[in-house]
Amino acid sequence: MPTTGQIIRCKAAVAWEAGKPLVMEEVEVAPPQKHEVRIKILFTSLCHTDVYFWEAKGQTPLFPRIFGHEAGGIVESVGEGVTDLQPGDHVLPIFTGECGDCPHCHSEESNMCDLLRINTERGGMIHDGESRFSINGKPIHHFLGTSTFSEYTVVHSGQVAKINPDAPLDKVCIVSCGLSTGLGATLNVAKPKKGQSVAIFGLGAVGLAAAEGARIAGASRIIGVDLNSQRFDQAKEFGVTEFVNPRDHDKPVQQVIAEMTNGGVDRSVECTGSVQAMIQAFECVHDGWGVAVLVGVPSKDDAFKTHPMNFLNERTLKGTFFGNYKPKTDIPGVVEKYMNKELELEKFITHTLPFSEINKAFDYMLKGESIRCIITMGA
């Protein structure tokens, strides 16, 4: 291809300062180095993680930066040592990776790769610490090793999932983060049996994906728990059958759920990051066989407190990262669930925008109006 080995000039939405609108700039994207691929991004979407780090709340700010980590595109060129990907492949860049060599990658039980595990503070590439983006010679920081708010980006090959070329990238791009996190928390970790009951704490995008997992698994009752009752109607589309707003009750929500379900739900999935919700999700599962799964990321000073008898009475508490999916090995299979009509993606997509209007996507999310907004690059 004529661009192989060359610098590519393209449009990118650059965050120059925390909380300020992104600015459409012409950036230079360097060729991929060892174990890297350069991808032409066709569609990207906005995740709450992008907004959190753009706002720079609670972490070290790193600007200027190109955000974005949910996307779909086509490989433009590959760097030295890349043997499993080639130009023309349809791919999803992923915020975490699979090197294939570390103990975690060799384990059937873990997806927490030692080399490519999520790193929010790294602004360059692993190979040399340098950025592949620049404007007039000034480096622009990467985000999560993906930086998909650019028409071209460079990603470590271990963070790139090759998918079915027939899959529509404007739909399956949302598989690369939040959707798989919630879906896998239910299907891979909670593992409800057909006919069992599941409680979902938090009905944002990840919680709705967890509910979708419960629907696919054949749960008979899916109880949605959220402090915003306006989310309840929308959640019905994702299989949620009953709703609890803790503010509507004068007793702990775990007690409310226990009374609704004759002793507790069979499985629960917590998707809020609130340590209070984590405790409630654990304490609302049935003794003897109940399993609670924590997905949300707590504040650094939070402490989980529950009586040890809750464990001794044979309740199980688990945590999960990215739904326990290995990015390169497992994510192509999630795409196939959509292609086989097992998984419904369209209902997660509430808005679409041209790349030139990307700041509107931030507005939609900050106002709580969107689940996922698809941004069409080159538009």
Which of the residue ranges 8-12, 22-26, 59-63 would you say has the lowest mean pLDDT? 59-63
Closest CA to 79 of 32, 121, 114: 32
Residue 44 has which token pair? Answer: 């990207």
Q: Which range of residues forms the domain containing residue 310?
A: 182-320
Catalytic positions: 47-49, 69-70, 99, 102, 105, 113, 117, 177, 372
Are 238 and 261 in contact by the 8 Å Cβ rule? The answer is: no
* Residue 379, pLDDT above cutoff 80: no
Does residue 337 belong to any structural domain of this protein? Answer: no
* End-to-end Cα separation, the chain, in angstroms: 23
Q: Sign of the CA dihedral 85, 88, 89, 93?
A: positive
Q: 107: which DSSP letter? A: -
Band the pLDDT of 183: cuts 50, 70, 90: very high
Phi then psi dihedrals of residue 233, to 5 deg = -60, -45
- Residue type (1 letter), 287: D
Helices (H), the chain: 48-55, 103-106, 169-172, 178-184, 205-217, 231-235, 253-260, 275-283, 309-312, 327-339, 358-366
Token duo for residue 230:
């306006």
176-204 mean pLDDT: 97
| Beta carbons of 140 and 30 less than 8 angstroms apart | no
- For residue 267, what is the enclosing H or E element? strand 267-270
The 10s digit of each residue's pLDDT in 46-58 is: 998 999 899 987 6
Task: Report DSSP state, residue 206.
Answer: H
Instruction: Specify whether 192 is located in the same domain as 270.
Output: yes
Q: Which of 303, 320, 337 is the last residue of a domain?
A: 320
Confidence of residue 59 (pLDDT cuts 50, 70, 90): confident
Choose between 56 and 332: higher pLDDT: 332
Would 52 be classed as within a structural domain?
yes
Q: Using the Cα atoms of residue 227, residue 228, residue 232 and residue 234 in order, give the sign of their dihedral.
A: negative
* 8 Å CB contact between 208 and 238: yes
The answer to whether residues 111 and 135 belong to one domain is yes
Which residues on neighbouring strands pair with residue 11, listed in sequence order? 26
Q: Over pLDDT 70: what percentage of the chain?
A: 99
Number of domains in the chain: 2
**Any domain includes 1:** no
Burial class (CB in 10 A: 0-12, 13-18, 19+), 368: exposed
Q: Can you tell me whether residue 211 is helix, strand or coil?
A: helix
The CA distance from 133 to 26, in Å, is 10
Peptide bond into 354 cis (omega under 30): no
46 within 8 A of 373, measured Cβ to Cβ: yes
Domain identity same for 169 and 214: no
Residue of 125, 170, 130, 4 whose CA lies nearest to 76: 4
Q: Is the pLDDT of residue 220 over 80?
A: yes
Give the pairing type, strands 291-294 and 267-270: parallel
Q: Which residues does residue 326 pair with via DSSP β-bridges, in sequence order?
A: none
CATH code of the domain containing 208: 3.40.50.720
Residues 6+ apart with CB under 8 A from 262: none
Task: Kindly tell me if the per-residue pLDDT of 100 is higher than 90.
Answer: yes
CA distance linking residue 313 with residue 169, whole number of Å: 46
Q: Could you tell me if 152 and 18 lie in one domain?
A: yes
pLDDT of residue 224: 98
Mean pLDDT of 254-280: 97
Tell me if residue 362 falls in helix, strand or coil: helix
223-263 residue pLDDT tens: 999 999 999 999 999 999 999 999 999 999 999 999 999 99
Looking at residue 2, its pLDDT comes to 79
pLDDT at 9 over 90: yes
Asked whether residue 333 is assigned to any structural domain, the reply reads: no
Q: What is the mean pLDDT of residues 331-339?
A: 98
Query: Would residue 24 count as lying in a domain?
Result: yes
Return the ∠ at Cα 23 (arms to 18 and 24), rounded to 5°. 150
Bridging pattern class, strands 138-140 and 36-45: unpaired
- Angle, to 10 degrees, between the axis of helix 358-366 and the axis of helix 48-55? 90
DSSP 3-68: TTTS-EEEEEEEB-STTSPPEEEEEEEPPP-TTEEEEEEEEEE--HHHHHHHHT-SS----SB---
Does 188 share its domain with 309?
Answer: yes
What is the domain-level CATH number for residue 112? 3.90.180.10
pLDDT of 58: 63
pLDDT of residue 170: 97
Per-residue pLDDT at 1? 58
152 & 103 share domain: yes
pLDDT confidence band for 299 (50 / 70 / 90): confident
**Is the domain of 53 the same as that of 82?**
yes
Are 122 and 81 contained in the same domain?
yes
